[in-house]
């Protein structure tokens, strides 16, 4: 009898906890390294309204919001057989039922629904085979080390031979073939033999700079000049796909641009030093852990950040334009409880704050907040830990941002 009563009590407590936690709770992160969790009721041009588990509402100024995380997302480039469009803004769009004709690409996207993009806005079309990913195709193309083409380029696979790169002009795509002009003739190539189409850059007209990036659960990402949320519907205006309304359930995150905040990920390092303890060197990655997998700290997945490994030192030229550096750092979940590294932040060659000791068996993440006013050269150094080895030193530097 006592056992039944105990089980009943646990069930009641669990139900109460579930009832007090919004089933569609999100996490709102701010530039000053705060995180507010709850249901996002609205996003306007000025504020984000959040309701916490107690039912209390608070309005956060949009200028201070860096990201809203609704759910974990996939990587469209890593899904076997997934066609992907890449735009001149660096957007990735999962594209099903893809066709291209009369200067427009039309497709179905899990994030956007039925959509279309002007051809002049595209930079690449990935058409991987069923057991292949767009990332596989991209890696193979880079290994070919071809010179940049002033025209459109078709990559054509051949039996028992390296792919053939053909330069010309893309005319169309349908379910069975790719129509391409080269050597003065218009030819049709079986679509299954074309894993990649690179399109020549054009002088696009971009009047309004993007204010935010919408990331879908499917891995698609769209730069938006405006985005609002009312009820459970997101309404956006995007340079590439125009106006679109979609359910918030399709969204993984929204990342906001701010005149007072810059993501360190978006700035190319002025210098990079990398070497392993033995012969293997793990090169830094953007948006992923050094393993190539999504960055995870304490069970949470992050898509904005840098994957680092001992030993490495990345340096950025900041020219004294920023006053504060904020980030979260930790050993990636994939290798815990292994990993032992020390992270040192440098301003003009001098240490900023105390070194951060990271061990896979300790707290999965630590917040970093450093004053960098007047700093011209900012560096992040990942050194070997007390074990003096580089085994499992998979360090994630997530949401690194610079505030003016």
Domain residue spans of the chain = 70-258, 262-403
Please tell me what DSSP assigns to residue 258.
Answer: B
404 residues of the chain, pLDDT tens digit each: 444 444 344 344 334 433 334 457 898 988 776 789 999 999 999 999 999 889 999 999 998 888 899 988 888 998 999 999 999 998 999 999 999 999 999 999 999 999 999 999 999 999 999 999 999 999 899 888 888 878 999 999 988 888 899 999 999 999 999 999 998 899 999 999 999 999 998 755 555 678 899 999 999 999 999 999 999 999 999 999 999 999 999 999 998 877 677 888 888 999 998 886 666 677 888 888 888 888 888 888 887 899 988 888 999 999 999 999 999 999 999 888 988 889 999 999 999 989 999 888 888 788 898 999 999 999 999 888 766 566 678 899 998 988 88
Please give the model's pTM, rounded to 2 decimal places.
0.73
CATH class of the domain at 262-403:
mainly beta
- What residue spans of 272-375 are helical by DSSP H? none
pLDDT reported for residue 390: 61
Q: In angstroms, rounded to a whole number, what is the distance separating the alpha carbons of residues 61 and 59? A: 7
Pairwise CA distance, residues 9 & 296, whole Å:
34
Give the pLDDT of residue 287: 85
Distance of CA 12 to the CA centre of its chain: 40
Predicted local confidence at residue 277, as pLDDT: 63
Per residue in 316-328, is it b (16+ CB within 10 Å) or e — as a string? bebeeebebbbbb
d(CA 42, CA 351): 42
């Amino acid at each position: 009898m006592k056992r039944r009563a105990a089980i009943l009590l646990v069930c009641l407590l669990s139900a109460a906890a579930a009832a007090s936690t919004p089933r569609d709770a999100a996490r709102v992160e701010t530039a000053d390294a705060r995180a507010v969790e709850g249901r996002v009721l609205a996003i306007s041009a000025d504020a984000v309204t959040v309701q916490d588990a107690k039912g209390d509402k608070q309005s956060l100024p949009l200028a201070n919001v860096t990201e809203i995380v609704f759910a974990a997302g996939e990587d469209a480039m890593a899904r076997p057989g997934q066609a992907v469009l890449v735009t001149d803004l660096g957007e990735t769009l999962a594209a099903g039922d893809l066709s291209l004709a009369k200067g427009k690409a039309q497709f179905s996207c899990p994030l956007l629904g039925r959509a279309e993009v002007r051809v002049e806005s595209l930079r690449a079309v990935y058409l991987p085979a069923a057991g292949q990913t767009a990332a596989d195709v991209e890696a193979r193309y880079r290994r070919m080390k071809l010179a940049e083409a002033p025209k459109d380029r078709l990559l054509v696979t051949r039996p028992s031979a390296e792919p053939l790169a053909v330069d010309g002009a893309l005319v169309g795509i349908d379910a069975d073939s790719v129509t391409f002009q080269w050597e003065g003739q218009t030819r049709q190539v079986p679509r299954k033999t074309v894993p990649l189409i690179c399109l020549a850059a054009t002088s696009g007209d971009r009047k309004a700079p993007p204010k935010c990036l919408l990331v879908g659960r499917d891995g698609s990402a769209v730069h938006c000049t405006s985005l609002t949320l009312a009820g459970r519907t997101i309404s956006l205006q995007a340079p590439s796909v125009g106006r679109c309304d979609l359910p918030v359930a399709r969204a993984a995150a929204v990342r906001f641009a701010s005149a007072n905040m810059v993501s360190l990920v978006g700035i190319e390092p002025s210098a990079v030093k990398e070497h392993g303890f033995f012969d293997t060197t793990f090169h830094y990655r953007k948006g992923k852990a050094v393993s190539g997998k999504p960055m995870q700290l304490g069970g949470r997945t992050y898509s904005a950040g840098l994957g680092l490994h001992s030993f490495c030192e990345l340096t950025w030229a900041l020219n004294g334009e920023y006053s504060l550096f904020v980030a979260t750092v930790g050993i990636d979940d994939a290798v815990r409880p292994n990993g032992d590294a020390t992270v040192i932040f440098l301003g003009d060659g001098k240490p900023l704050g105390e070194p951060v000791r990271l061990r896979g068996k300790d707290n999965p993440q630590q917040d970093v907040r450093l004053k960098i006013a007047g700093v011209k050269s900012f560096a992040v150094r990942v050194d070997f830990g007390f074990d003096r080895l580089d085994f499992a030193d998979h360090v994630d530097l997530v949401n690194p941002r610079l505030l003016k």
